[in-house]
Structure 1
Amino acid sequence: MVGQAVVALAGVTKRYANGTLAVRGVDLVVGQGDFVSLLGPSGCGKSTVLRMMAGLIPPSSGRIEMAGGSATGDVGFVFQEPTLAPWSNALRNVMLPLRLAGVAKAEAEQRAAAALASVGLAGFEKSYPRGLSGGMKMRVSIARALVTKPRLLLMDEPFAALDEITRHKLNNDLLTLWEAERFTAIFVTHSVFESVYLSRRIVVMAARPGRVVEDLPVDAPYPRGEVFRTSADYAAHCRDISAALTRAME
């Protein structure tokens, strides 16, 4: 069940210094434990909205309210690329946010090892990014985002560059983590199929200036798996979301 609001956007607009109006008048409320996908064409401001939620860039106008204030420790962010330090092994990469927060080394090592195990990388603590596959590097990135136990996890097309088999596996693993940890997830994607598989809600955005045009529920129960992915219900949801995306692009 979805609880009280974790993040709320009211009339949020972002205009960059070069004059580009990226998003205009975005209203969005995401509740505790929800899984929401932001779906829309390239350049519609999905990543801009995510970065404003994370406090990485400020809105030009409007309000962004976080439950309990704006403590950055309550927010984890997974970028499109894993952005791992090549000179550090997996364990030290995951430890980084804890060490920056002043957590003692021994505790940080223990928590980082547990986070790696939670994403299926137990035994790879001493591996360096150059020795990991694309999917494994993304798992390290997810572990690093989750190691602080954030209330809100923001994910900016994290699986877009991966092959379909790896992407499906990581979708399944992400849902397993979400169901176990009960964080709130906001997931940016271009994929109708991925958004339907993962989400409780899909927020469809129109092309620049980005704005919310539809907010649609996906009422299929969790846990989800291959039975759902090959079901008539899944296909029907995909058709509905595809139609909404087509309307947004007109």
Structure 2
Amino acid sequence: MSAAQISSTVEASLTALAVSLRGVTKTYDNGVMALGPLDLAVCKGEFISLLGPSGCGKSTALRIIAGLSAPSSGTVRVARHEGEVQPGHGIGFVFQEPTLMPWTSVRENVRLPLKLGGVAKAQGRARADEALASVGLTDFADAYPRELSGGMKMRVSLARALVTDPDILLMDEPFAALDEITRFRLNNDLLALWRALGKTVIFVTHSVFESVYLSQRVVVMTARPGRIQADLRIETVEPRGEEFRTSTAYSDYCRRVSAALAPSYSGQSTL
């Protein structure tokens, strides 16, 4: 293979990636090594879940990808709209808590990233309304957070993350505090949004069942310092729905993921 062909192959592999972590570690000032070395590649348009025990570095990895925290070592690359690979571009972040401003309306909460980015008010309101429509909250644009249920607040948080039209959506256990019925409903809604919008999604969860239901890949992490214990592909007929949740295939995948996760909880690793 010629040098030009090699260069073309490398370039094609990079543009196909949304996120690439190579040898990433994170050690805090108190000496705790939270992460790594971690190697992770996520393709554009892929939905993956990071699954592991508390304190294994899942949220730390998400914050590093978002550019909210710097790695102690290693390389982080995040794809631009144009296909170039650069850090910290085109990212939406949904945190564990909705973190809504209680003194203003749902629409203004969603518009906030555009307001901070200097987008004109009229344009920002129109885009906020579009984002609210995508999560089924058109009728609540003028409501205040105190008037919403927990699930609705999380929908607002998701709309706020989507309002900038990011390429990559990072979600840090967004449904963990919700009741099971609401969580199932939001899982279905999130999958529908992912199919419609084509975003790359990296979803942090403690739930084996949620990770298998949502993801194309489940990345199982070890106990701290977090590394990859297993990377399991979930291959099913799309679109997924309740028939998948009650299927033999779903049960089998849950067992496989649970088995991969078990060493992390026992303090052992197969690495």
TM-score tier after normalising by the smaller chain length? over 0.9
1:9 equivalent among 5, 18, 21: 21
Q: 5 Å matches for 1:97-116?
A: 97-116=113-132
Q: Between Structure 1 and Structure 2, whose CA radius of gyration is higher?
A: 2
1:190 equivalent among 194, 206, 209: 206
Q: Specify which structure has the bigger relative contact order, considering alpha-carbon pairs within 8 angstroms and separated by 6 or more residues.
A: 1
TM-fit CA distance, 1:248: 3.0
Tell me the TM-score normalized by structure 2: 0.90
Secondary structure of the corresponding residue to residue 188 of structure 1: strand
Q: Does 2:163 align with 1:168?
A: no
Residue 248 of structure 2 corresponds to 232
In structure 2, distance between residues paired with 1:19 and 1:80? 26
2:56 equivalent among 40, 44, 68: 44
Which AA in structure 2 matches 1:7?
V
In structure 2, the gaps of 5 or more residues are 1-14, 81-85
Tell me the TM-score normalized by structure 1: 0.97
In structure 2, distance between residues paired with 1:183 and 1:208? 29
Residue 172 of structure 2 corresponds to 156
In structure 2, distance between residues paired with 1:208 and 1:237? 25
1:20 equivalent among 1, 26, 32: 32
In structure 2, distance between residues paired with 1:196 and 1:236? 10
CA-to-partner distance for each residue in 1:100-125, whole Å, 9 max, x for gaps?
11111111101101111110101100
CA-to-partner distance for each residue in 1:35-61, whole Å, 9 max, x for gaps?
000000001000000000000010000
Instruction: Number of aligned residue pairs: give it.
Output: 248
Residue 34 of structure 1 corresponds to 46
In structure 2, distance between residues paired with 1:46 and 1:15? 14
CA-to-partner distance for each residue in 1:54-91, whole Å, 9 max, x for gaps?
0001000001011132354x000000000001111100
TM-fit CA distance, 1:157: 0.1
In structure 2, distance between residues paired with 1:58 and 1:88? 32
In structure 1, the gaps of 5 or more residues are none
In structure 1, distance between residues paired with 2:96 and 2:264? 24
Secondary structure of the corresponding residue to residue 228 of structure 2: strand
Which AA in structure 2 matches 1:17?
D
In structure 2, distance between residues paired with 1:71 and 1:51? 10
Q: 5 Å matches for 1:30-179?
A: 30-68=42-80, 69-72=86-89, 74-179=90-195
TM-fit CA distance, 1:150: 0.3
Percentage identity across paired residues of the two chains: 62
Which AA in structure 1 matches 2:68?
L
Secondary structure of the corresponding residue to residue 43 of structure 1: coil
In structure 2, distance between residues paired with 1:148 and 1:9? 24
Q: Is the 8 A contact 2:168 2:200 kept in 1?
A: yes
Which AA in structure 2 matches 1:247?
P
Secondary structure of the corresponding residue to residue 140 of structure 2: coil
Q: Is the 8 A contact 2:128 2:160 kept in 1?
A: yes
In structure 1, distance between residues paired with 2:88 and 2:60? 19
